[in-house]
């Protein structure tokens, strides 16, 4: 029988130890405000250029989410290393920098941009990383200052190396299917998991065989773009079961919602065996040779679902 994926008292100890050597994965607006005088703190704003120009946290640098994403045909695809290197150097980042990632804070889906950038920077070799919980919306709601003045940041010469410890590739996921050695976590809303909806770039409907569904939106305070407390997150995660030492892989459509799930389980709740499948179901269903699927509807049902989704405006 599988044991719970999270043992909360052990998680608490692990979290304290992690914070002592790196940085808290989540910051409140007040906590970030206290850190801003530190020259080693860099606020990385993932919103679009226009939003950044209208208002941003003093000292922040603009790094729109699209720069961290793949092409429209496969948005979750990893960005080439030369492009990532150019990007992090332009932002003045180094392994010693404490990067605090800021998103807009409109809704729970919005958090995925910060989580995916966090995952990317950690994979590139940064250890001091945080996300502003609630994003810029929470910052402004706290009455903290914003500016329209662009920060003058000296570029770095850092040459990052990608660490695949938190990465699951298509081939690796395929090898995991059916061997009972990994927990596959579908972070999408239920209609995607059940095969009633599909991403426009996906080549098939449904989910990975043997996957379990935990909608990433369940980790957020109702009607909010801020994650719940660690204790509440742990309670939600109890629906997942993981045997001791078993790997876990988070996936969604394009590695966006799944990045949130990875962030919560790995960074906040201390599950060390969590990995992210960045290309997720779009990448999986675009394989030249069709790969196994579960909950895949037939053509007639797909057409019925498309019509129903169109009527509902989905």
- In a 10 Å sphere around its CB, with 0-12 CB exposed, 13-18 middle and 19+ buried, how is residue 17 labelled? exposed
Lowest mean pLDDT among 5-14, 220-229, 231-240, 277-286: 5-14
Q: Which residue has the higher pLDDT, 180 or 285?
A: 285
Q: 21 falls in which pLDDT band (50, 70, 90)?
A: very low
Q: What is the pLDDT of residue 14?
A: 43
Checking if the pLDDT of 207 tops 90, the result is: yes
- What mean pLDDT value characterizes the chain? 90
Phi-psi region for residue 204, left (φ > 0), alpha (ψ -120 to 50) or beta? beta
Contact 249, 179 (CB under 8 A): no
- In a 10 Å sphere around its CB, with 0-12 CB exposed, 13-18 middle and 19+ buried, how is residue 303 labelled? exposed
| Percentage above 90 pLDDT, the chain | 81
Euclidean distance between CA atoms 60 and 101, whole angstroms: 9
Q: What is the pLDDT of residue 185?
A: 97
Q: Is the dihedral of CA 164, 166, 168, 169 positive or negative?
A: negative
Write the pLDDT tens digit of every residue in 88-103.
999 999 999 999 999 9
Architecture of domain 20-162: 3-Layer(aba) Sandwich (3.40)
Q: 306 falls in which pLDDT band (50, 70, 90)?
A: low
Q: What is the pLDDT of residue 12?
A: 43
Checking if the pLDDT of 300 tops 90, the result is: no
- Measured CA angle at 106 (ends 262, 129), to 5 deg: 40
Euclidean distance between CA atoms 34 and 312, whole angstroms: 46
Q: 22 falls in which pLDDT band (50, 70, 90)?
A: confident
The CATH number that domain 165-312 falls under is 3.40.250.10
Write the pLDDT tens digit of every residue in 165-178.
999 999 999 999 97
Checking if the pLDDT of 67 tops 80, the result is: yes
Nearest to 58 by CA among 183, 153, 178: 153
Q: Domain spans of the chain?
A: 20-162, 165-312
Checking if the pLDDT of 87 tops 90, the result is: yes
Euclidean distance between CA atoms 25 and 15, whole angstroms: 9
For residue 7, which phi and psi values (nearest 5 degrees)?
Answer: -110, 100
Helix (H) or strand (E) holding 109: helix 108-124
Whole-model pTM over 0.85: yes
């Amino acid at each position: 029988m599988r044991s719970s994926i999270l043992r909360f008292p052990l998680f608490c100890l692990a979290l304290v130890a992690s914070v002592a050597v790196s940085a808290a994965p989540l910051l409140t607006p007040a906590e970030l405000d206290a850190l801003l005088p530190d020259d080693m703190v860099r606020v990385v704003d993932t919103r679009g250029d226009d939003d950044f120009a209208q208002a941003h946290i003093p000292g922040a640098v603009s790094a729109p989410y699209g720069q961290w994403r793949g092409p429209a045909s496969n948005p979750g695809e990893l960005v080439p290393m030369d492009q990532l290197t150019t990007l992090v150097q332009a932002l003045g980042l180094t392994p010693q920098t404490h990067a605090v990632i800021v998103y807009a804070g409109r809704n729970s889906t919005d958090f995925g941009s910060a989580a995916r950038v966090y995952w990317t920077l950690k994979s590139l070799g940064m250890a001091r990383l945080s996300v502003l919980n609630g994003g810029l919306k929470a910052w402004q709601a706290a009455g903290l200052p914003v500016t329209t003045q662009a920060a003058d940041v000296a570029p770095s010469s850092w040459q990052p190396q990608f660490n695949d410890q938190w990465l699951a590739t298509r081939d690796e996921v395929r090898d995991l299917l059916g061997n009972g050695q990994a927990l596959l976590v579908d972070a999408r809303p239920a209609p995607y998991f059940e095969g009633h909806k599909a991403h426009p770039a996906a080549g098939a409907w449904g989910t990975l065989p043997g996957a379990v569904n935990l909608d990433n939106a369940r980790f957020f305070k109702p009607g909010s773009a801020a994650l719940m407390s660690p204790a509440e997150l742990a309670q939600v995660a109890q629906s997942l079961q993981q045997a001791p030492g078993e790997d876990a892989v988070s996936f969604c459509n394009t590695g966006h919602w799944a990045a949130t799930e990875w962030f919560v389980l790995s960074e906040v709740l201390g599950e060390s065996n969590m990995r992210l499948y960045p290309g997720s179901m779009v990448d999986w269903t675009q394989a030249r040779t069709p790969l196994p699927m579960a909950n895949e509807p037939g053509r007639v049902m797909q057409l019925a679902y498309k019509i129903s989704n169109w009527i509902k405006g989905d």
